[in-house]
Amino acid sequence: MSVTTGVDGPPKVAFFNNPKVRSIGVQAILIAVILFFAWQMIQNTLANLERANIASGWGFLNTTAGFDLSFTLIPYSESSTYGRAITVGVLNTILVAFCGIITATIIGFLAGVMRLSKNWLVAKVAEIYIEVMRNVPLLVQMFIWYKVVLAALPSPREAWSIGGTVFLSNRGITIPKFIWGDNAWMIAVAVVAAIVGIVVLKKWAHKRQEATGEQFPVFLTSLGILFGLPLLTYFALGAPVEFEFPEQGNFNLRGGVGLVPEFAALYFALSVYTAAFIAEIVRSGILAVNKGQTEASYALGLRPNPALRLVVIPQAMRVIIPPLASQYLNLTKNSSLAVAIGFPELVAAGGTVMNQSGQAVEIIAIWMAVYLTISLLTSAFMNWFNSRMKLVER
Amino acid sequence: MKRTLLSLALGTAVSLAGITAASAGTLDDVKAKGFIQCGVSQGLIGFSNPDDKNNWTGLDVDFCRAVAGAVFGDGEKVKFTPLSAKERFTALQSGEIDILSRNTTWTMGRDTSLGLVFAGVTYYDGQGFMVKKSLGVDSALKLDGASVCTQTGTTTELNLADYFRANNMKYEVVAFEKADEVIAAYDSGRCDVFTTDQSGLYAERLKLKNPDENVVLPEIISKEPLGPVVRQGDDAWFNVVKWTYFALLNAEEAGITAANAGDMMANSTDPGIRRLLGVEGDFGKNIGLENNWAANAIKAVGNYGEMFDRNVGPDTNLKISRGVNALWKDGGIQYAPPVR
Amino acid sequence: MSDIHSQRNLAYVRTEQAPAMPAPLTVSGPIGWMRENLFPTPINALMSLIFGALLLYVIWITLDWAVFKAVWSGEDRSACIGDGAHGACWAMARAKFGQWMYGFYPFAERWRVDVVGIVGLLALVPMMMPSLPYKKLNGIFLLGIYPILTLILLTGGNFDIGMSTWLTVGAFVAAVVIPILLLGFVAKIIQPTHALMASGAIVGGVALLLIIMSIDFGLPYVETSKWGGLLLTLVVAITGIVASLPIGILLALGRRSSMPVVKLFSVAFIELWRGVPLITVLFMASVVLPLFLPPGTSFDKLLRALIGVALFSSAYMAEVVRGGLQAIPKGQTEAAQALGLTYWQNIGLITLPQALKLVIPGIVNTFIGLFKDTVLVGIIGLYDLLLIVQAANTDQKWVAPQTHSTGFFFAAAVFWIFCFGMSRYSMFMERQLDTGHKS
């Protein structure tokens, strides 16, 4: 009864072998190191900025820019501010990323399915396309696309036109400009109403099919509603929209709304490059679905197309979505290479501002913040989509 | 000699620990390390580009060699850092380079708000336009509605906006990162007009498929004085750079060349020449160099005229005439204060 | 019943023999193959024709430009202007070839690059062939000796290692070794003799390394700003590849750690780097980093780019490795713990080997991405392969209309060869390491 080191107390371990103490110690050291470096960095930056007489702060955003940009979604002129120039860049980045993601997905799915085609030549062409695109730097491809786009299109004086309304030349595509009259907002309302209608229709059709087994031609009806309703509104209101048609000017087409070829080159290059990666993801996704699934659906009497659409792809999607999300992020970030072919997206517009104002630290901070925001938002959306697809799993 | 790759990796750790190198003024630093770090363009024909023998050539490059000659008596004691337009000012501000000789336009904004100072004008340039002959345009004032190709992040872009706004004309600008892409886009018909500094127009013409089908318009829409830049508040170094430039001009005026500089030092009786070459007076000592600093600079690259002719003059592919860059006595505006 | 039956006209009952079918079409030989694989159905035949024509057209315009209309020899730009201006200017590529491979590396010293390349190949090729022995020795050479050899040969060695360097490195080593020794002695978990030998080996190794670095081999110094072309591209890519794997593994482990600070740090680090384009990272390294450093310090430009590229790709690598770690069943870790293995033993011997094998394709894809991304270092003025082929267009002697395209074509071909080779090798390794556990 006198043994002091009894079995009833906790086992005696040296304090530094206690996992809890260790983990706290490691974390404390990590925090200390990070804080030390951060403090050093801030100190040095402040000292350097002061020593070099460089002005810092965000005031420059209100300064007049003095340069023009070739493609803007919002009104912009050389007397606008630096801040507005950067906003133009952000919007252009979002535009090209959005368009690129949609096209890359379509091409990627096609190429991925093509590579699995039984037609030898089709499969080979898809393979060559994928292997060439994936193994050549995007920057090089971008230059080549730009050359191809410019070489293929005619000069503005010999522009191809469709009935004098839409013009295509090496200055880009020019379409008539809409001049909205009174009540024109009703058309926008009609578009929204059409979309809501389609969603409701789809739900109803689904329910009906579950209940009665009868199918309803949802796609064609939706198409009809989407175009029919706004058109109906347009004529019902007495055609409140006028068009400003582009016409031949001295050098360029005057009037109308244009889309510059730099955008086209960037958009092609990004879509086609990313699509090659998406194609591989799609292929591996489809291959990951057990062959028995296809055979079972054939046995149930499904034809190859519905079998692919209703049985294989939904299952493949679960494998496809996570890597697809990172490809979308890559595409968005790769749009920053546009600076090389003269499309004023965020890095190009910001770079010009950096050059003219000398505010390097601020501009780079803006770049990083914007890309991070876009990336995190895209990730969040894809995670949500992913979890929705997962619900299919029972 | 310091071996940067490793010693700097370790050096960062050292300096983070609180030991910071005291910066004593660029001239002393340069003398201590034994070479000049010179920021140049990543490639501009006639001004700075590497040739196939790995040597840097061009007017901007030669100016740095002249400064190295003045400081060390050896024009090869210079190292070149190729810089993009975006990096150039921060590279100088942060001390990565000692002198920026990269076809940089002297403007008030750059001279006053970036912590930098321009030391002279080694090349007087001006912005011009090039168009296709087939367009039938003979004046820049007839360019209303045209598409213009230009390089981004330069004064060119700003001048262009100013010019078209002042003349109430509309235009579409297409701005590229590199001169190569600008001229390629112009050549493939993306733009009606190509604009850059006149020297650049001559240089870029060499890249065109059919140079004779293009014409340079008579208007010059801006002043583009290009020159070397140093850090503000470092007067000793500023003086060295500034006076090296003046010495090259004075040498041309006095007829001193790389070939005859040694001979002139020994035999010339002209007091102006004797002062410039350091035979008389202590002008070199007063700016912290040897007395024969100017002679060394001239021996390294020749006088201003030789430097000009070798890199951009009529005998090169560029074929640029002296124009405003001639000496004041030949009708140009290159003018140097006397050594006295 | 039978009435009804007999009234029916039994149309579906065959009364005469079916006509003989024609003999089957050939299924062997080229024609049979084509019928089977190119023209099985009308739609397939149409697709075959369209894609065949497309393929032929692309091949034709490429060959026409790169071979038939190309200029193969000449002394300067005059060969590639005028009539020669419609095809590739290979005369220029011949004159510039050395520069494209070595950059501005001095002519007299180029043998050093050759030695580094040949030794690297000789060590790497047996390493990559699974059937050859001495993998361990070779690995030690490649990861331990070869980098030092490369550093000394490429720069020239003879580093200026002064008192301050000795002190700094000494302090770092002491800061790592002494606490471990002390703790070890107090806890009595390591034997004094072992501990002394181990720390002696560390100190000796570091000292030896520093001494080798400072030996003057009589090699002239070649500063990093003279490196360029394929040499620089490979240096950036290989350093990035070698550095990103260990950092990526550490980050992946950190992201799965139970320590909140470590986890938060890893997540923040990975998401920050993955969320921004490399181009902005490099801008930061070249423009902003000098402002972060104490006044008066400068930092080798190549080293800055290397750090940027390595950190950027290690964030991607971390996500790839994390995918592999997640795929390992928890039972493996639990079994390791039950056997009394420590955390690092478990990671090093059980989890990582399985995880890494699973994600080889992902790792190689990251390598390929990194290799292609090296072209961006040109933006901060390092003369990588892409920038140096463009530099040909600013040389008065060679500037011509096709100079630009010829250089791009060359660079694209070189990149394609390297990347395609890597991806094929990864497929090969995947088959080699497939132990049959995958379905």
Q: Are B215 and B267 within one domain?
A: no
pLDDT of the residue at B15:
40
Q: Are B80 and B135 within one domain?
A: no
Q: Which residues of A touch B (CB under 8 A)?
A: 40, 48, 52-55, 66-70, 78-79, 143, 146-147, 150-151, 155, 170-171, 249-252, 254, 260-262, 339-342, 344, 348, 351-352, 354-356, 358, 360
Whether residue C44 and residue A119 make contact (CB cut-off 8 A), yes or no, is yes
pLDDT of the residue at A54:
67
Give the residue from chain A lying closest to B131, CA to CA: A251
* pLDDT > 60? residue C7: no
**Any domain includes B135:** yes
DSSP assignment of A78-111 equals: TTSBHHHHHHHHHHHHHHHHHHHHHHHHHHHHHH
Q: How far is Cα C400 from Cα C89, in angstroms, rounded to an integer?
A: 9
pLDDT of the residue at A67:
84
Q: Which residues contact A314 (CB under 8 A, 6 or more apart)?
A: A389, A392
Cα distance from B158 to chain A (closest Cα, Å)? 5
**Any domain includes C34:** yes
What the block records as the tokens of C130 is 């699974």
Q: A279-308: b or e for each residue (b if 16 or more CB lie within 10 Å)?
A: bbbbbebbeebeeeebeebeeeebeeeebb
Question: Phi and psi of B316, rounded to 5°?
Answer: -95, 175
pLDDT of the residue at A15:
63
pLDDT of the residue at B7:
43
Average pLDDT over residues C399-405: 83
Nearest alpha carbon to residue C122 among C138, C144, C102: C138
List of chain B residues whose C-beta atoms are within 8 Å of the C-beta of residue C150: none
* pLDDT > 60? residue A2: no
Q: How many CB atoms lie within 10 A of CB C259?
A: 16
Q: How many interchain CB pairs under 8 A, A with C?
A: 147
Average pLDDT over residues C192-221: 79
Residue in A251, A263, A352 to test binding to B, most B beta-carbons within 10 Å: A251
Q: Which residues contact B96 (CB under 8 A, 6 or more apart)?
A: B37, B39, B81, C290, C298, C301
Helices A120-134, C403-433: inter-axial angle, 10-degree rounding: 110
**A54-58, A168-172, B45-49, C16-20 — most confident range:** B45-49
List of chain B residues whose C-beta atoms are within 8 Å of the C-beta of residue C291: 90, 94
Q: Are B147 and B217 within one domain?
A: yes
Cα distance from B210 to chain C (closest Cα, Å)? 8
Per residue in A105-139, pLDDT tens? 999 999 998 888 878 888 888 999 998 888 888 98
Percent of chain C predicted with pLDDT > 90:
13
**Any domain includes B340:** no
Residue in A121, A133, A283, A291 to test binding to C, most C beta-carbons within 10 Å: A121
Comparison of pLDDT for B303 and C129, the residue scoring more: B303
Question: Chain C window 71-130: which residues touch A at a Cβ cutoff of 8 Å?
Answer: none
Mean of the per-residue pLDDT values of chain C: 83
Comparison of pLDDT for C159 and A334, the residue scoring more: A334
pLDDT of the residue at B14:
39
With helix as H, strand as E and coil as C, how does C324-393 read? HHHHCCHHHHHHHHHCCCCHHHHHHHHHHHHHHHHCHHHHHHHHHHHHHHHHHHHHHCCCEHHHHHHHHH
Comparison of pLDDT for B333 and A151, the residue scoring more: B333
| Structural domain ending residue among the three candidates B175, B196, B222 | B222
pLDDT of the residue at A53:
65
Highest CATH level, class, for A82-157+259-390: mainly alpha
pLDDT of the residue at A14:
61
C59: domain range? 29-68
What the block records as the tokens of B193 is 């007009």
Least confident of A50-54, A312-316, A341-345, C33-37: A50-54
List, run by run, the mean pLDDT of 10-residue segments along chain B (340 residues): 42 39 74 92 86 88 95 92 82 87 88 88 93 88 89 83 90 84 86 90 85 88 93 92 95 94 90 92 91 93 94 89 92 92
pLDDT of the residue at A6:
46
pLDDT confidence of C9, banded at 50, 70, 90?
Answer: low
pLDDT confidence of C6, banded at 50, 70, 90?
Answer: low
**Any domain includes B86:** yes
pLDDT confidence of C230, banded at 50, 70, 90?
Answer: very high
pLDDT of the residue at A253:
72
Q: B334 has which bridge partners?
A: B327
Q: Are B205 and B283 within one domain?
A: no
Average pLDDT over residues C340-357: 86
**Any domain includes C146:** no
Mean of the per-residue pLDDT values of chain A: 82
pLDDT confidence of A185, banded at 50, 70, 90?
Answer: confident
Whether residue A250 and residue B146 make contact (CB cut-off 8 A), yes or no, is yes
Per residue in A312-335, pLDDT tens? 888 888 778 878 888 888 899 999
Per residue in A43-69, pLDDT tens? 888 887 777 666 677 888 888 888 888
DSSP assignment of A217-254 equals: -HHHHHHHHHHHHHHHHHHHTT--EEEE--EE-SSSEE
**Any domain includes B5:** no
**Any domain includes C230:** no
* pLDDT > 80? residue C382: yes
B50: domain range? 26-124+226-320
pLDDT of the residue at A64:
86
**Any domain includes B332:** no
Q: A178 has which bridge partners?
A: A243
Number of domains in chain B: 2
Q: Which residues contact C394 (CB under 8 A, 6 or more apart)?
A: B43, B44, B45, B49, B179, B180
ipTM greater than cut 0.90: no
C321: enclosing H helix or E strand: helix C301-327
* pLDDT > 70? residue C229: yes
Task: Count CA within 13 A, CB hemisphere, residue A372.
Answer: 14
Q: Are B88 and B153 within one domain?
A: no
Contact A286, A320 (CB under 8 A): no
Between the two ends of chain B, the Cα-to-Cα distance in Å is 37
Between the two ends of chain A, the Cα-to-Cα distance in Å is 61
Q: How far is Cα A155 from Cα A170, in angstroms, rounded to an integer?
A: 6
Give the one of C183, C287, C375 whose C-beta lies nearest to A360's C-beta. Answer: C287
Q: How far is Cα B102 from Cα A21, in angstroms, rounded to an integer?
A: 58
* pLDDT > 50? residue A300: yes
Per residue in A205-217, pLDDT tens? 888 888 887 777 8
Strands A172-175 and A177-180: unpaired
**Any domain includes B331:** no
Residue in A41, A248, A355, A367 to test binding to B, most B beta-carbons within 10 Å: A355
pLDDT confidence of C435, banded at 50, 70, 90?
Answer: low
Whether residue A140 and residue C412 make contact (CB cut-off 8 A), yes or no, is yes
Between the two ends of chain C, the Cα-to-Cα distance in Å is 57
Alpha-carbon dihedral C42, C46, C51, C56, rounded to 10 degrees? 120
Contact C304, C377 (CB under 8 A): no
pLDDT confidence of C141, banded at 50, 70, 90?
Answer: confident
Domain ranges of chain A: 15-51, 82-157+259-390
Number of domains in chain C: 1
Q: Are B131 and B120 within one domain?
A: no
Q: Which amino acid is at B73?
A: G
Give the residue from chain C lying closest to A23, CA to CA: C259
Q: How far lies A388's CA from each of A198, A205, C269, C395, in Å?
A: 20, 21, 28, 58
Report the CATH number that the domain containing residue B252 is assigned in CATH: 3.40.190.10
List of chain B residues whose C-beta atoms are within 8 Å of the C-beta of residue C161: 6-7
Q: Are B254 and B105 within one domain?
A: yes
Q: What subunits make at least 3 CB pairs under 8 angstroms with C?
A: A, B
List of chain A residues whose C-beta atoms are within 8 Å of the C-beta of residue B231: 52
Per residue in B125-169, pLDDT tens? 999 999 988 888 889 898 888 889 998 877 888 889 889 989 998
B215: enclosing H helix or E strand: strand B214-216
Least confident of A175-189, A330-344, C68-82, C208-222: A175-189
Whether residue B173 and residue A70 make contact (CB cut-off 8 A), yes or no, is yes
Contact A214, A208 (CB under 8 A): yes
pLDDT of the residue at B338:
93
pLDDT of the residue at C414:
93
Chain CA centroid to CA C104, Å: 24
Residue in C394, C397, C408 to test binding to B, most B beta-carbons within 10 Å: C394
Average pLDDT over residues C3-13: 63
